[in-house]
Structure 1
Amino acid sequence: MSYNDVILLLGSNINNPQKNIEIALENIESKVGTILTKSELILTKPVEFESSNIFCNIAVKLKTQSSPIKLLSEVKAIEKMMGRVNDSSAIGAYQDRIIDIDIILYNNIKFSSKKLIIPHQKNLYDRDFAKELINKVK
């Protein structure tokens, strides 16, 4: 079976964000694939919505055997298990969240479906904090 190089971006801004990131990383490692490198954790203001809760963010590079769609299912299952009820795409807006796991890059492919677009355009090209974290694990 072949392995795929993936970059994920994680964020949390409620209920002990740093601990939420740690729990999500443990779940990624046990259920998704081997984490090869991690950026540092950084604190950022919410983007594209108003909140007084500051985000804790990290980027990770991992190796996984999962396909893009299976990977999406796995990270969404981790989000749900950690208590995330509504996905931003489902409600059409951003809001505070216990955990958010975005698939940024998957090998060097371009992938587009109704539920997933790789590379993740906003985080890869528009958000400075995300570009900085992603570049540290590439």
Structure 2
Amino acid sequence: MSQHKVVLLLGSNLGDQKKNLLTALDKIKQAGNEIFKVTDFLISDPVEFASSNIFCNIASIIFTHLSPFQLLILVKSIEAEMGRTEDSVITGGYTDRVIDIDIVTFNEIKFISERLKIPHQKHLSEREFSRILLKDFI
């Protein structure tokens, strides 16, 4: 079973944001993945929705044996476990969230389905905070 290099972007704008991000990374690690590199925290305004709550974000390179869909299931389960009740793909819009974990790249693959798009183009090209966090990763 080979290891896959994955870039994740994590964000939180509710509660203890930094603790939320570190807790999510710890849960990813506890699930058998290697956390290889993590950026510094970056504070940003909400994107594509209005909120008075600012975001704290990080990017991380992980190594995993999981497939893209298995990893998606894992990150969605972590989000739910940490209290995220609404998924923007399902609701069609963004809201405040305890944790958001996005798969930005997965090896060098390009993949599109209803639930998963790799690479995550919004983070690679449209969002300034993402470009700042990912500048040394991509």
TM-score bracket, shorter-length normalisation: over 0.9
Equivalent residue, structure 1, for 2:23: 23
2:67 aligned with 1:67: yes
Q: How many pairs does the alignment contain?
A: 138
Provide the C-alpha distance between the structure 1 equivalents of 2:89 and 2:114, rounded to a whole number of angstroms: 11
Provide the C-alpha distance between the structure 1 equivalents of 2:29 and 2:116, rounded to a whole number of angstroms: 21
Equivalent residue, structure 1, for 2:107: 107
Equivalent residue, structure 2, for 1:10: 10
CA displacement 1:65-117 (0-9 Å, x = unmatched): 00000000000000000010110111111010000000000000001111100
Provide the C-alpha distance between the structure 1 equivalents of 2:13 and 2:136, rounded to a whole number of angstroms: 22
TM-score (normalizing by structure 2):
0.97
Q: Match of 1:57, SS?
A: strand
Provide the C-alpha distance between the structure 2 equivalents of 1:96 and 1:45, rounded to a whole number of angstroms: 11
Percent of counterpart pairs with the same letter? Answer: 48
CA RMSD of the aligned region, Å?
0.9
> Is contact 1:10–1:99 with CA below 8 Å preserved after alignment?
yes
CA displacement 1:16-61 (0-9 Å, x = unmatched): 1111001101001111510111111010000010001010000000
Code of the residue aligned with 1:96 in structure 2: it is: D
Equivalent residue, structure 2, for 1:35: 35
TM-score (normalizing by structure 1):
0.97
Mind listing any 5+ residue stretches in structure 1 that lack a counterpart? none
Q: Match of 1:96, SS?
A: coil
Against the structure 1 CA distance between its residues 54 and 32, is the aligned structure 2 distance closer, same or farther, given a 3 Å change threshold? farther
Mind listing any 5+ residue stretches in structure 2 that lack a counterpart? none
Q: CA deviation at 1:131?
A: 1.1
> Is contact 1:39–1:137 with CA below 8 Å preserved after alignment?
no
Provide the C-alpha distance between the structure 1 equivalents of 2:121 and 2:127, rounded to a whole number of angstroms: 9
